Amino acid sequence: MPGPVVVFVEQRDGKFKRASFEALSEGRRLATALGVPLHAVTAGEGIADAAKELGQYGADAVKVADHAKLKTYANAAYARIVSRQAGSASAVLMSASALGKDLAGHVAAMLGTSVAQDCTELHVEGGQILAKRPVYAGKAYATLAVNGGPMVATLRPNVFKAAAPDASKTVAVENLPLDARDTDFRAVVKEILASASKKIELTEANVIVSGGRGMKGPENWGLITDLAAALGGAAGASRAVVDAGWRPHEEQVGQTGKTVSPTLYIACGVSGAIQHLAGMSSSKFIVAINKDADAPIFKIANYGIVGDVLEVLPALTAEVKKLRE
Amino acid sequence: MNIVVCVKRVPDSSARIKVGADNKSIDPAGVEYVLNPYDEYAVEEALKLKEKAGAGEVTILALGGPESAETIRKALAMGADKGIHLKEGSQGRDFIATAQAIAAELKGRPLDILLFGNKAIDDDGAQVAAMVATLLGIPFVSTITKLELNGRNATAHRPVEGGVEVVEVALPAAFSAQKGLNEPRFASLKGIMAAKKKPLEEKPAVAGEPRLVLVRLDNPPARPVPRIVGTGKDAVPALIKLLREEAKVI
Ligand SMILES: Cc1cc2nc3c(=O)[nH]c(=O)nc-3n(C[C@H](O)[C@H](O)[C@H](O)COP(=O)(O)OP(=O)(O)OC[C@H]3O[C@@H](n4cnc5c(N)ncnc54)[C@H](O)[C@@H]3O)c2cc1C
Ligand SMILES: Nc1ncnc2c1ncn2[C@@H]1O[C@H](COP(=O)(O)O)[C@@H](O)[C@H]1O
């Protein structure tokens, strides 16, 4: 009898992440296909009550490690807790967030297995889980199977659909003991410096407006953030812009920046270098605004406008605002 | 202070990647290889730590085919002291098998700081570092943009969604380098010459036990045919209409 699908659910300040609901929903689909139960595992402090919600996403069992020492992320301790729940699992899933990418490697090493990282598709074929993931920065896609042991996989945020919660479902919450060793707390988060502004996180944003060197200078960045704000999205940047010091590293999209998969990505004055595409080519709809009709960004854009961003952006923002009124 | 930096030889970030006819490997024609860009940040950080401490040794470790020696020399040319090349045949390795071979080599060696790149830009894993640290039983902080030593303790900055985690850790410890940590130096001509004479130990990598099997490798899914909506700001209404009615995203 194959074991459960185990999903690690991530929380911050007692709030579960949407990307974890995506992982839970995908876990539900896999568990049903395999004919095994779905277990949700989470860790933190003071979250036992909130964890009841996880049953509404289809978990058959909800397990919570609730302890003051788990308030902030402690990689080895979190991994110890998850790996203890996963010895006989068919699969261990989590979001490919900053935390999930870090946690997965620890969990896998404790279980003596590997990780299918940043998957964009999972399915069951002949009773076996197959994981599809981009490699070479999205220039190829690998399909992987696991040879013994659970399939440990992280799921790219914004790619898998989160099911609507079913409020009629209730599941008892099981408390897990703090099953970690003292040595599991050697890397400790002392403090979290919150971003100055309450910006929407790039990797979680549904809409991203991103600017390149074609924006001409940091003084024009308001055109990017205005459109992003009008669309309820986040602002990103090319590496050229970050390296020029116009924008901080955390806003860089691409191979050495963030990998994003929004529903709508608007590239403004971005040439579309292969390293930039690496970070955004799995976006659902791509719009490019560039004055050079031959810019490579147009090759992957659904819609393009050939023109000066400094002129097109204010007009576009005005139109979007009109719609929102 | 003993610092080890793990480096990997990877296709250049601008390389065109074509899936081979076997649907299992990439077509090697025309692909150029480089020292993994994230590993350059790791090497730079190691050199800076040594310079600051005024003493210590920076060892470069790479697992790979014969050509990986070249990659190690690149890091030696930047200023590292010596290299270890874990030689590998043609067998494929997944993250855990790679980590097992690296950990087997490092086990029992004097080590204060172990540095990795955040990810290798071929397999895009960001997994090997956490695995090696776990196998060695040392603490690990991933994707760091700042590292400060204070005696036998270190403080690292780790950007996460919506903020930066400040992580404290006791040495020996492992870290993976994110862009923003530093600006990697270029190898000087003198450095390149000196690197040729630096010690580079070669030994076979221990056998690994890959757990992930590559079923197939495919080209990326095709994107829809691109469409130029128009020119200049006059094209804005048409774009808005498409985004609303066709894409249904605004
Ligand atoms: C190892 C490595 C990693 C890298 N990682 C990344 C990464 O993560 N992310 C990334 O973005 N890049 C990355 N790069 C850099 C990448 O190769 C490009 O240099 C970079 O993306 C170019 O940025 P850009 O498009 O803003 O600038 P440019 O290439 O200079 O393009 C500017 C564009 O703006 C257009 N333009 C100019 N003026 C206007 C105007 N008034 N109106 C409209 N359009 C205008 C031009 O036609 C041009 O297409 C990496 C490179 C390397 C070697
Ligand atoms: N074959 C290898 N030899 C040496 N170091 C490696 C190797 N593979 C990965 N690494 C290290 O682990 C980091 C993360 O790689 P990965 O987990 O494969 O994305 C790299 O940046 C290197 O520092």
Q: Where are the domains of chain A?
A: 5-185, 202-324
CATH of domain A5-185: 3.40.50.620
How many CB atoms are closer than 10 A to CB B30?
8
Gap between the Cα atoms of B123 and B144, Å rounded: 20
Mean pLDDT of A66-84: 96
The rounded percent of chain B whose pLDDT value lies above 90 is 95
CB–CB of B124 and A97 under 8 A?
no
Domain assignment present for B241: no
Q: Which of B131, B148, B219 to mutate to test the interface with A (most CBs of A within 10 A)?
A: B131
* Residue B229: closest CA among A289, A277, A269: A289
Q: Which of A156, A261, A276, A303 to mutate to test the interface with B (most CBs of B within 10 A)?
A: A303
What integer pLDDT is reported at residue B228 of this predicted model? 97
How many CB atoms are closer than 10 A to CB A164?
10
B5 touches B75 (CB < 8 A): yes
What integer pLDDT is reported at residue A199 of this predicted model? 78
Q: What's the gap between Cα A236 and its chain centre?
A: 16
B119 Cα–ligand 1 center, Å: 22
pLDDT for residue A87 is more than 90: no
Domain assignment present for B130: yes
B136 touches B103 (CB < 8 A): yes
* Residue A296: closest CA among A260, A267, A258, A254: A267
pLDDT for residue A197 is more than 70: no
How far away is chain A from the Cα of B112, in angstroms, using its nearest Cα? 14
Gap between the Cα atoms of B129 and B115, Å rounded: 8
CB–CB of A249 and B145 under 8 A?
yes
A155 touches A95 (CB < 8 A): yes
CB–CB of A106 and B134 under 8 A?
yes
Which chain B residues are within 8 Å of A298, Cβ to Cβ? 226, 228
In the DSSP assignment, the letter for residue A165 is: P
pLDDT for residue A1 is more than 70: no
Nearest to B250 among A137, A314, A320 (CB): A320
Which chain B residues are within 8 Å of A290, Cβ to Cβ? none
pLDDT for residue B96 is more than 80: yes
Which chain A residues are within 8 Å of B220, Cβ to Cβ? 134, 138-141, 281
What is the tens place of the pLDDT at every residue in B190-199? 999 999 999 9
Place of tokens 């086990």: B107
Which chain A residues are within 8 Å of B37, Cβ to Cβ? 255-256
Give me the residues paired with residue B126 across strands. none
A71 touches A44 (CB < 8 A): yes
Gap between the Cα atoms of B112 and B135, Å rounded: 16
CB–CB of B140 and A75 under 8 A?
yes
Gap between the Cα atoms of B210 and A114, Å rounded: 8
User: What count of residues does chain A have?
Assistant: 325
Mean pLDDT of A244-248: 96
B107 touches B4 (CB < 8 A): no
- Find, in chain A, the residue whose alpha carbon is nearest to that of B211: A147
* A313, containing H or E segment: helix A309-324
What integer pLDDT is reported at residue B145 of this predicted model? 97
A106 touches A79 (CB < 8 A): yes
pLDDT for residue B90 is more than 80: no
Q: Which domain holds residue B85?
A: 2-204
Domains A5-185 and A202-324 share a fold: yes
Domain assignment present for B246: no
Higher pLDDT, residue B7 or B92 = B7
Gap between the Cα atoms of B177 and B143, Å rounded: 5
**Which-ligand-closest: CA of A138?**
1
* A39, containing H or E segment: strand A38-44
What number of CA atoms fall less than 13 Å from residue A292's CA on the CB side? 11
Question: Using 50, 70 and 90 to split pLDDT, how confident is the model at A200?
Answer: confident
List the residue whose alpha carbon is closest to atom 8 of ligand 2.
Answer: B8
pLDDT for residue A195 is more than 80: no
Burial of A216 (0-12, 13-18, 19+ CB in 10 A): middle
For residue A151, report the phi and psi dihedrals to the nearest 5 degrees: -85, 105
The encoded tokens of residue A78 equal 């979190």
How far away is chain A from the Cα of B200, in angstroms, using its nearest Cα? 29
What integer pLDDT is reported at residue A196 of this predicted model? 66
B34 touches B9 (CB < 8 A): yes
In the DSSP assignment, the letter for residue A114 is: -
Which chain A residues are within 8 Å of B92, Cβ to Cβ? none
Decide if domain A202-324 falls under CATH 3.55.10.10. no
Q: What is the 3-state secondary structure (H, E, C) of A80-111?
A: HHHHHCCCCCCEEEEECCHHHHHHHHHHHHHH
B35 touches B74 (CB < 8 A): yes
pLDDT for residue B111 is more than 90: yes
* CATH number of the CATH domain containing B21: 3.40.50.620
CB–CB of B226 and A136 under 8 A?
no
B89 Cα–ligand 2 center, Å: 17
Q: Is the dihedral of CA A56, A57, A60, A62 positive or negative?
A: negative
**Any idea what the Cα angle at residue B209 is, between residues B206 and B212, rounded to 5°?**
140
For residue A96, report the phi and psi dihedrals to the nearest 5 degrees: -85, 55
What integer pLDDT is reported at residue A153 of this predicted model? 98
Which chain A residues are within 8 Å of B215, Cβ to Cβ? 130, 143-145
Q: Which of A18, A102, A265 to mutate to test the interface with B (most CBs of B within 10 A)?
A: A102
Residues ≥6 apart with Cβ < 8 Å to A32? none
pTM for the structure as a whole? 0.96
The encoded tokens of residue B79 equal 């200023």
Place of tokens 């070479």: A136
A138 Cα–ligand 2 center, Å: 18
In the DSSP assignment, the letter for residue A197 is: S
Mean pLDDT of A20-40: 97
Protein residues whose CB sits closer than 6 Å to any atom of ligand 1: A 212-214, 238-241, 252-257, 269-271, 273, 275-276, 279, 290-292, 295, 308-310; B 13, 37
CB–CB of B217 and A140 under 8 A?
yes
Q: For chain B, give the DSSP string.
A: -EEEEE--EEE-TT----B-TTSSSB--TT--EEE-HHHHHHHHHHHHHHHHHT--EEEEEEEESTTHHHHHHHHHHHT--EEEEEE--S----HHHHHHHHHHHHTTS--SEEEEES--TTT----HHHHHHHHHT--EEEEESEEEEETTEEEEEEEETTEEEEEEEESSEEEEE-TTS--PPPPPHHHHHHHHHS-EEEEEPPP----EEEEEEEPPPPPPPPEEEEESGGGHHHHHHIIIIIS---
ipTM: 0.96
For residue A261, report the phi and psi dihedrals to the nearest 5 degrees: -140, 55
Domain count, chain B: 1
Nearest to A117 among B126, B228, B235 (CB): B126
What is the tens place of the pLDDT at every residue in A272-324? 999 999 999 999 999 999 999 999 999 999 999 999 999 999 999 999 999 98
B148 touches B167 (CB < 8 A): no
The encoded tokens of residue A220 equal 């024009």
* Residue B102: closest CA among B142, B56, B133, B65: B133
* A280, containing H or E segment: helix A274-280
The rounded percent of chain A whose pLDDT value lies above 70 is 99
A269 Cα–ligand 1 center, Å: 8
